Amino acid sequence: MHQRDIALNYIYLSKTHAGGKDQVGLNLLKGFREIGATERMVVICYDHSVETIKKIADDVEIISIPSHNDSSEIVRMARVSMFNTFKLNKILEDHNIKLVYHLSCNTGLTRTNATSIVIPHDIKAIAHRVLAGVKVPMHKYLIYKVMYKADFKNNDHIVAISDTDKSEISQYYPEYKNKVTRIYNPIDVKKDQEDEAGRGNYIAALNLQFHHKNIITLIKAFELIRDDITEDLILIGNVPDRVKYLKDYVAEHNLQDRVKFTGFVSDEEKDKLFRNCKLYVNPTLYEGFGMTAVEAIIHKIPTLISKIPANFEVTKGLAWYYEPPEDEKKLAQAIKTALNSSWDNAEEKSDTIYNAYNYVNIAKEYKEFFERCLA
């Protein structure tokens, strides 16, 4: 039995474990379990994550911290920062931890005695303060600016989730560029046989909740070609108040019969709608990695995405692309072209992407990285 000398700081996991950052952490843990690395690991998490952690890795030691019902994101961030600043180092010392991996940014205001690694996932709030005409408020901008500076100074290593992400960290924080290592996100997707003949007659999009996902451009593009195509547009997921203008536009332009909002759906229903679409479209203005497009290609779904740097990088040039992202005319033409084209070499594309980001392969890469950091 190995000494448990590696700690995964997973207090960043949300109660629903539904976000992309959460999925990175859970997929990585699953990979560690399958390659036998969890026998030397401790997971530090809030009590609401304990059962999820146990189901994934029953041999990992868990240090549980009482959770709270925080009133806002700022309060939650403050609580995480306080824990990492004043309590984490004592836990690491008590358990003889030599290396700690922080699943997200906001690692506190002090260094730990253990070798420490932070994965900020991206620095969008700093590198792209204005997206889709929406500007990060000054108070949030300043919070993130101070937080990233403290994180990059106090941690020994920084993980970037793409070469694009690495380039932005190096550009905005050049004094820490030598600390940055690129490791792609782990993807847990079953690579099974897809029935292409059973696909529905609709275009699908996910990730509606934020302005920079640029769904409004997709709706406008669809409006331009609705009389030229038979496929409907299905927008999968919640539409919070901040993007209520999406529904307003559809109503004002009499698109309700062709543009459908699913609202909240179960994971099973979301997966079914996603995998059975005729074309998946992601018009996003920014991604640090872009997990959904990767999953779509693995499932052999014809995939059309904006040609922003991270999208093109992680899909390895194997999708269909359009640019610029906010040009609805270009997107409309790209959709028509895609619907009339064959998704060639689907199996080969699927294999390439699956092997590049499979959670077991990424866990092996992380394990080797941890060993180098400890050495």
CATH number for the domain that contains residue 238: 3.40.50.2000
Band (250; pLDDT cuts 50, 70, 90)? very high
Band (52; pLDDT cuts 50, 70, 90)? very high
Domain with 83, as residue range(s), is: 6-186+358-374
Comparing C-alpha atoms, which of 336, 340, 325 is closest to residue 215? Answer: 325
Amino acid of residue 161: I
Q: Are residues 205 and 265 in the same domain?
A: yes
pLDDT of res. 195: 55
| CA 305 remoteness from chain centre | 16
The whole-angstrom separation of Cα 180 and Cα 127 is: 16
Average pLDDT, the chain: 94
With tokens 């911290």, the residue in question is 65
For the segment 166-171, the average pLDDT, to the nearest whole number, is 97
- Please name the residues in contact with 137: beta carbons below 8 A apart, sequence gap of 6 or more: none
The whole-angstrom separation of Cα 233 and Cα 238 is: 15
Q: Are residues 223 and 154 in the same domain?
A: no
Q: Are residues 159 and 139 in the same domain?
A: yes
pLDDT > 50? residue 153: yes
- The tens digit of pLDDT for each residue in 74-99 reads 888 899 999 999 999 999 999 999 99
User: Quick check: is 1 in a domain?
Assistant: no
pLDDT of res. 196: 60
pLDDT of res. 193: 61
Q: Are residues 99 and 172 in the same domain?
A: yes
Band (73; pLDDT cuts 50, 70, 90)? confident
Q: Are residues 24 and 173 in the same domain?
A: yes
Q: Which of the two residues, 269 and 19, has the higher pLDDT score? A: 269
User: Quick check: is 191 in a domain?
Assistant: no
Residue 17: left if φ>0, alpha if ψ -120 to 50, beta else—which one?
left
Strand ranges for the chain from DSSP E: 6-9, 41-46, 61-65, 99-102, 115-118, 130-131, 134-135, 157-160, 180-182, 202-205, 232-235, 259-261, 279-282, 303-306, 320-322
Q: Are residues 62 and 170 in the same domain?
A: yes
- The tens digit of pLDDT for each residue in 102-146 reads 999 999 999 999 999 999 999 999 999 998 888 889 988 998 999
**Structure token digits, residue 39:** 């026998």
- The tens digit of pLDDT for each residue in 184-207 reads 999 999 876 655 656 899 999 998
Q: Are residues 304 and 279 in the same domain?
A: yes
Q: Are residues 295 and 370 in the same domain?
A: no
The whole-angstrom separation of Cα 347 and Cα 298 is: 8
Q: Are residues 84 and 181 in the same domain?
A: yes
- The tens digit of pLDDT for each residue in 35-46 reads 999 999 999 999
pLDDT > 90? residue 156: yes
pLDDT of res. 198: 63
Highest average pLDDT, of 139-153, 196-210, 355-369, comes from 355-369
The whole-angstrom separation of Cα 222 and Cα 96 is: 58
Q: Number of folded domains in the chain?
A: 2
**Structure token digits, residue 268:** 């099973």
Q: Which of the two residues, 15 and 285, has the higher pLDDT score? A: 285
User: Quick check: is 207 in a domain?
Assistant: yes
Q: Are residues 156 and 210 in the same domain?
A: no
pLDDT > 60? residue 1: no
pLDDT of res. 244: 94
User: Quick check: is 254 in a domain?
Assistant: yes
Band (367; pLDDT cuts 50, 70, 90)? very high
User: Quick check: is 250 in a domain?
Assistant: yes
Q: Are residues 281 and 222 in the same domain?
A: yes
Count Cβ atoms below 10 Å from residue 35 Cβ, excluding itself.
Answer: 13
pLDDT > 60? residue 18: yes
- Eight-state DSSP code of residue 237: B
Comparing C-alpha atoms, which of 143, 177, 155, 57 is closest to residue 103? Answer: 155
- The tens digit of pLDDT for each residue in 287-342 reads 999 999 999 999 999 999 999 999 999 999 999 999 999 999 999 999 999 999 99
Q: Are residues 92 and 239 in the same domain?
A: no
Comparing C-alpha atoms, which of 197, 194, 166 is closest to residue 182? Answer: 166
This prediction's pTM: 0.94
DSSP 3-state percent helix, strand, coil across the chain (nearest 5):
45, 15, 35
User: Quick check: is 230 in a domain?
Assistant: yes
| CA 249 remoteness from chain centre | 28
